[in-house]
Amino acid sequence: MGHAVTSEHCVESAPTSRRVCNAQVLAKALVQFAGAGIAGYVLELPVWVALAGWVVFYSRGSTPRDGAYNLACAITGLGLGIASLSAAAGFALDPAWAALPVALLLAASGVQLMQFMTGVNNIPGYYIGVLIAAVAHMDTSLDSYLTLTAAVSVGVFVGAAGQVTPGLAKKAAAIKPFSLR
């Protein structure tokens, strides 16, 4: 009796302990976010794409199985984005910047069709992949696709590793914050 569920991962006996639980979740998220950035930097991949991969991991669910599903949707979104950018470049529109809205419209149509045809309905995962492809300003080539796929995969891997590593939040929360006193 007297136990309160403060989140899906913590059961504490006092309502004031919610701060501790939130601090643990925040510390775990910060460690994972930093890990994704460091891993992207060490592997000489676009760091911001690795960080977006970490976001992809949590776009729908937070288990490694959900992360694999999210990764598949993001990689498909990358392919749709690069293909639509390539198709829009073929239109040879007079102001070059006019090709981007056309490409995004093509990619959005592709995402909606993928949802109806395949039944896979992780729309945020698809759109994150499309936006990564649009914002990356890389050539529309297989090399660019593989580079972006590797960077997103690194971020998703770091997110999954953080979920299966027991006690990571406790270790991160045990670090004493810096004080100027």
Residue 34 lies in a domain: no
What is the structure's pLDDT at 169? 54
To the nearest whole number, what is the mean pLDDT of the chain? 81
Whether residue 25 contacts residue 173, with contact meaning beta carbons closer than 8 Å, is answered with no
pLDDT of residue 115 exceeding 80: no
Q: Which two tokens stand for residue 21?
A: 């639980």
Confidence grade of residue 166 (pLDDT, cut at 50, 70, 90): low
- Specify if 71 maps to a domain: yes
Number of other residues whose CB lies within 10 A of the CB of residue 75: 20
Predicted local confidence at residue 170, as pLDDT: 60
Q: What is the pLDDT of residue 102?
A: 81
Helix (H) / strand (E) containing 10: strand 10-12
| Residue 62 forms part of a structural domain | yes
- How many other β-carbons are positioned within 10 Å of the β-carbon of residue 137? 8
The pLDDT score that the predictor gives to residue 15 is 53
Instruction: List, in order, residues 6 or more apart from 18 with CB less than 8 Å away.
Output: 4, 6, 7, 10, 12
Average pLDDT over residues 80-91: 84
- Is the pLDDT at 164 greater than 60? The verdict is yes
Examine the pLDDT at 168 and tell me if it is beyond 90. Answer: no
Domain that holds residue 88: 46-164
Specify if 179 maps to a domain.
no
Distance CA 58, CA 54 (A): 7
Residue 148 lies in a domain: yes
Token digits for 6?
């403060």
Q: What is the pLDDT averaged over residues 58-76?
A: 90
What total number of domains does the chain contain? Answer: 1
Is the C-alpha dihedral spanning 159, 161, 164, 167 positive or negative?
negative
Adjacent-strand bridge partners of 11:
5
